[in-house]
C-alpha cells in the first residue's frame, strides 16, 4: 500500500477471484461458469448496428433489460435494478441497507465477497456459523436485528434453504431487510422471487453469469419492492449512473427472453451433476447435496489442496479454499459431460497412484 | 427513501445524468458523446468468436486492455487500471486516497459527479471557487493538505489548465495525491501523462467515451505510479473484481490501438468546434475558450433555461445546469458538422423570434 492510501482503503479485505487463465489450456471447472455458449439470441442481439452505436451512452435506467427481466419474472420494471454483475448489485445493497446501527449477518462459510463488501463500507458484521453438516438454519438468524444476507443455494457448499424458511425470517421481523443471493438458484433450489409482492423487505439478487452463460457480459440484477429498488438506485447514481454498457443490456435482454435455451442448459447441468456425484461417490468422495452448478466434495485419503494441485498439474482447474472448516474440500464446477468425464478420469488416475 | 435505508445512503447526493432518450429523435448535443461510430477495428474485435466466449468470465486484470493502453501512452501495464467507465475509476480513487484526515478539494463549477462520490464515501470536501472568468488557478490549491481533483479541461466550462501549473501543484507537496481527470483532454489540452514517471503522487484518469467513441462500451482508466494503481486495485477487488466485461476489454484494446482513426476524429471535432464558436459569436453568444468536445455559451438576450427549452422543442438537445454561476449558460456538445449546422439554424430562428 502506498503512503497516500486512506485509512479506509487500508482496512479493506480485497476478494481473491478464482484463477482466470486466458489461454484456455485447462478444463476450467473453478469459477462456476456455464460450459455452454450464450443463447443464439444473444449472438443476434450483438450485431453490427448495435456496435456502431457504441459512441452513444447506454441507457442509465437499462429499461430494455429491466423490462425483459420483469417480464420473465412476472414483475414490473420498478421491481428490478440491473447491474454490472450481481457483485455490483450486492455492493449497492450493502451500502443501501447496512451502516451505522444496521449491522449485517451472514454465514461463516459462504460467498467470500460479502466480507470484502462489508469491509468496503466498514460495516459491523455478525458471522453466524453454519451447522456441523453445513446447513443453514434460519432459526440462528431470528433474533438478529440487522440486515441478513443468505446465498441460496449457498456457495461453496451448494446446499439450499427451503423457501418456507426464508419466509419465516421475513415474517419474523419486517423491519429488517433479507437479501437472498440467488446466483445459483436456477439449478434446483426454490427461488424467493414469487414472494416479492408479499414481502417488501425481501431483496433477491440474481446473475446471468451461470444459468444464462453471460459471465463475461457482466449482467446481474436485484428484484424487490419498488421501495428497495429506489434505494439501490440512490446508491447507483452516486457511484456510476451508466453502470451497464450497451452490449450487455442487449445481451442480457436477449438471454432472459430465451426460455427454451435456459431450460435446456439448466436441465443438462442438473443431469451432468447427478452423473458426476455418482462417479465421485464411486471414487470414495463425500459430496455435499448440491442444488447449484457445482459440487463441494472431499476425499478421506487426499487433502483438498493436494487434489487441487494434482488436478491442475493434469490440466483440470477446480477451486480450493484455504479456509477453516472447508480446507478438506474442493469445489468442482459442473461443466459439459465431456469435461466431467475428463475430471473423473484424472481423479481416478490420481487415486490409483495412492 | 424506504424505511430500511441506511443513514449513509440517506445522506447521498445522487448524480443526475443528462437526458438519454433512446429513440434518437433528437440532434443529441447534451452528453458530450462522439458523433462518430467506434473505430472499424472495434467492429472487428467484437466478433462471433468473442461473443461465443461470453460464458467465461472476463479477465479480472483486464490485461489485454491495460497492455494496449500502456503501449499507447508509453507506460507499463502496472501503471494502468481499467474500469467500467472513468466514473468507476474515479470512485475507486475517491475511496483509495480520501477519507478520515484526508479531505478532498475540487472546484465549485466542475464535473457534478465529484460531489456524489464524495458523499458516497462521506468525505470532507473543500470547494475552491473558480475565478471570476471560470479559470482555475492552482495557487488557490497550494496550501490544501488533502487530495486534489482537477478536471482538465474542466467541465462544463471547457477551459484547460496548463501542464506546468499541475506540475507546480505536484511539486509543492508530494505528500498529497493530485487526480487529474482528463476525460476531455484529447481535444486540445495538455495531458499530464508524460509526468507520470516523474511524480508518483499524480493520478490521471481518462475515458474512451469521448475521443474514442465508446461511451456505450464503458471503458475508462487510471494512469499513475504502480503504488497508486495498486491502491486502486485494492478498492476494485473489494467492490467488483470482474469490473470490465469481455467485449469492452476487446473494444477498448482495439480502439486505443487505432491511432489514425483517433487522430482523424479528434481533428474533425476541433475543426467543427472552431466553426461552431465562430457561428455562435456571430449570433451574439459569449463562448468560453474550450479545449473540449463541447462549448459553454451564454446569450445576453435569453437565459440558459429558455435556450435549452426552445432548442429541445425544435429537436436539439443541449445541457443546461440549474446551478449557481452557470445558470445563464448552455453546454453544447460538438457533434458532426451537419448537427452543428442544424443547431446554428435553430438558434438563428429562436433569436429571430425575439
Closest listed residue to residue B151, CA positions, set B93, B103, B98: B93
Predicted confidence at residue B80, as pLDDT, reads 98
Distance from B24 to chain A by nearest Cα, in Å? Answer: 10
Question: Where exactly does CATH 3.40.640.10 map onto chain A?
Answer: 40-257
Q: Where are the beta strands (DSSP E) in A129-232?
A: 147-151, 178-181, 202-207, 220-224
Whether residues B57 and A31 touch (CB distance < 8 A) is answered with yes
Q: Which residues of chain B have pLDDT under 70?
A: 24
Pairing of strands B220-224, B80-83: antiparallel
Question: Where exactly does CATH 3.90.1150.10 map onto chain A?
Answer: 18-36+260-352
**Contact yes or no for B56/A216 (Cβ under 8 A):** yes
Q: Could you identify the residue written with the cell 501549473?
A: B165
**CATH code at A18-36+260-352:** 3.90.1150.10
DSSP element (H, E) containing A259: helix A259-282
Phi and psi based region of residue B60 (left: phi greater than 0; alpha: psi -120 to 50; beta: remaining): alpha
Cα(B227)–Cα(B201) distance, rounded to whole angstroms?
A: 9
Cα(A330)–Cα(A296) distance, rounded to whole angstroms?
A: 6
Which class is domain A40-257?
alpha beta
Whether residues B215 and A31 touch (CB distance < 8 A) is answered with no
Q: How distant, in Å, are the alpha carbons of A10, A205, B14, B124 from that of A95? A: 19, 15, 13, 19
Q: Which of A54, A100, A201 to mutate to test the interface with B (most CBs of B within 10 A)?
A: A54
**Count of residues in chain A:** 354
* A293 φ/ψ angles, rounded to the nearest 5 degrees: -90, 35
Name the burial class of residue B289, with classes exposed (0-12), middle (13-18) and buried (19+) by CB atoms within 10 angstroms of its CB.
middle
Predicted confidence at residue A118, as pLDDT, reads 96
* B223 φ/ψ angles, rounded to the nearest 5 degrees: -125, 130
Q: In chain B, which residue's Cα lies nearest the Cα of A100?
A: B7
> In a 3-state reduction of DSSP, which class is residue B206?
strand
What are the pLDDT tens digits along chain A (354 aa)? 999 999 999 999 999 888 888 776 899 999 999 999 999 999 999 999 999 999 999 999 999 999 999 999 999 999 999 999 999 999 999 999 999 999 999 999 999 999 999 999 999 999 999 999 999 999 999 999 999 999 999 999 999 999 999 999 999 999 999 999 999 999 999 999 999 999 999 999 999 999 999 999 999 999 999 999 999 999 999 999 999 999 999 999 999 999 999 999 999 999 999 999 999 999 999 999 999 999 999 999 999 999 999 999 999 999 999 999 999 999 999 999 999 999 999 999 999 998
Q: How distant, in Å, are the alpha carbons of A24, A99, A201, B77 from that of A104? A: 38, 8, 14, 37
A121 vs B contacts (CB less than 8 Å): 8
Instruction: Write the pLDDT tens digit of every residue in B165-208.
Output: 999 999 999 999 999 999 999 999 999 999 999 999 999 999 99
Question: Where exactly does CATH 3.90.1150.10 map onto chain B?
Answer: 9-36+260-352
Whether residues B234 and A12 touch (CB distance < 8 A) is answered with yes
Whether residues B54 and A95 touch (CB distance < 8 A) is answered with no
Question: ipTM of this model?
Answer: 0.97
Closest listed residue to residue A244, CA positions, set B212, B291, B216: B216
| Grid coordinates belonging to A92 | 449497492
Q: How distant, in Å, are the alpha carbons of B183, B283, B315 from that of B345? A: 29, 10, 12
Predicted confidence at residue A6, as pLDDT, reads 96
For chain A, percent helix, then strand, then coil, each to nearest 5? 40, 15, 45
Whether residues A227 and B2 touch (CB distance < 8 A) is answered with yes
A209 vs B contacts (CB less than 8 Å): 57
Q: How distant, in Å, are the alpha carbons of A30, A286, A295 from that of A278? A: 20, 10, 11
**Count of residues in chain B:** 354
Distance from A347 to chain B by nearest Cα, in Å? Answer: 24
B153 upstream amide cis, omega within 30 of 0 = yes
Whether residues B22 and A63 touch (CB distance < 8 A) is answered with yes
**CATH code at B9-36+260-352:** 3.90.1150.10
Question: Where exactly does CATH 3.40.640.10 map onto chain B?
Answer: 40-258
Cα(B314)–Cα(B317) distance, rounded to whole angstroms?
A: 9
Cα(A216)–Cα(B62) distance, rounded to whole angstroms?
A: 12
Q: Which of A43, A240, A241, A252 to mutate to test the interface with B (most CBs of B within 10 A)?
A: A240
Q: How distant, in Å, are the alpha carbons of A62, A206, B89, B225 from that of A237? A: 13, 20, 15, 29
Sheet holding A104-107, edge to edge: A80-83, A220-224, A202-207, A178-181, A147-151, A104-107, A125-128
Predicted confidence at residue A23, as pLDDT, reads 74
Pairing of strands A285-287, B316-317: unpaired
Pick B37's closest partner by Cβ from A52, A244, A245: A52
Q: What's the CATH number of domain B40-258, 3.40.47.10, 3.90.1150.10, 3.40.640.10, 3.50.30.30?
A: 3.40.640.10
Q: Could you identify the residue written with the cell 433450489?
A: A189
Amino acid at each position: 500500500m502506498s503512503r497516500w492510501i486512506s485509512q479506509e482503503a487500508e482496512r479493506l479485505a480485497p476478494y481473491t477471484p478464482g484463477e482466470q487463465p486466458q489461454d484456455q489450456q485447462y478444463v476450467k471447472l473453478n469459477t462456476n461458469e456455464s460450459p455452454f455458449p450464450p443463447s443464439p439470441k444473444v449472438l443476434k442481439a450483438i450485431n453490427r448496428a448495435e456496435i456502431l452505436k457504441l459512441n452513444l451512452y447506454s441507457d442509465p435506467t437499462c429499461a430494455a433489460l429491466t423490462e425483459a427481466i420483469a417480464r420473465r419474472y412476472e414483475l414490473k420494471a420498478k421491481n428490478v435494478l440491473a447491474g454490472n454483475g450481481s457483485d455490483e448489485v450486492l455492493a449497492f445493497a450493502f451500502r443501501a441497507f447496512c451502516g451505522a446501527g444496521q449491522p449485517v449477518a451472514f454465514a461463516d462459510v459462504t460467498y467470500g465477497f460479502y466480507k470484502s463488501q462489508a469491509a468496503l463500507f466498514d460495516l459491523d458484521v455478525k458471522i453466524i456459523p453454519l451447522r456441523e453438516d453445513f446447513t443453514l438454519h434460519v432459526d440462528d438468524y431470528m433474533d438478529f436485528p440487522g440486515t441478513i444476507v443468505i446465498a441460496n443455494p449457498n456457495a461453496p457448499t451448494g446446499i439450499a434453504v427451503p423457501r418456507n424458511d426464508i419466509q419465516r425470517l421475513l415474517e419474523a421481523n419486517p423491519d429488517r431487510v433479507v437479501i437472498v443471493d440467488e446466483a445459483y438458484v436456477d439449478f434446483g433450489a426454490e427461488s424467493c422471487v414469487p414472494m416479492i409482492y408479499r414481502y417488501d423487505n425481501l431483496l433477491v439478487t440474481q446473475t446471468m453469469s451461470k444459468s444464462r452463460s453471460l459471465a463475461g457480459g457482466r449482467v446481474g440484477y436485484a428484484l424487490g419492492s419498488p421501495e428497495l429498488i429506489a434505494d439501490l438506485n440512490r446508491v447507483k447514481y452516486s457511484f456510476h449512473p451508466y453502470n451497464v454498457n450497451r452490449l450487455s443490456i442487449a445481451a442480457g435482454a436477449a438471454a432472459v427472453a430465451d426460455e427454451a435455451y435456459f431450460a435446456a442448459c439448466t436441465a443438462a447441468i442438473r443431469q451432468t451433476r447427478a452423473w458426476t456425484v455418482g462417479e465421485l461417490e464411486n471414487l470414495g468422495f463425500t459430496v455435499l447435496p448440491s442444488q447449484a452448478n457445482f459440487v463441494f466434495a472431499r476425499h478421506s485419503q487426499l487433502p483438498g489442496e493436494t487434489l487441487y494441485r494434482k488436478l491442475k498439474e493434469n490440466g483440470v482447474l477446480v477451486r480450493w479454499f484455504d479456509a477453516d472448516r472447508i480446507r478438506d474440500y474442493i469445489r468442482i464446477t459442473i461443466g459439459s459431460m465431456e469435461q466431467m468425464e475428463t475430471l473423473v478420469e484424472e481423479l481416478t488416475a490420481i487415486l490409483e497412484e495412492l
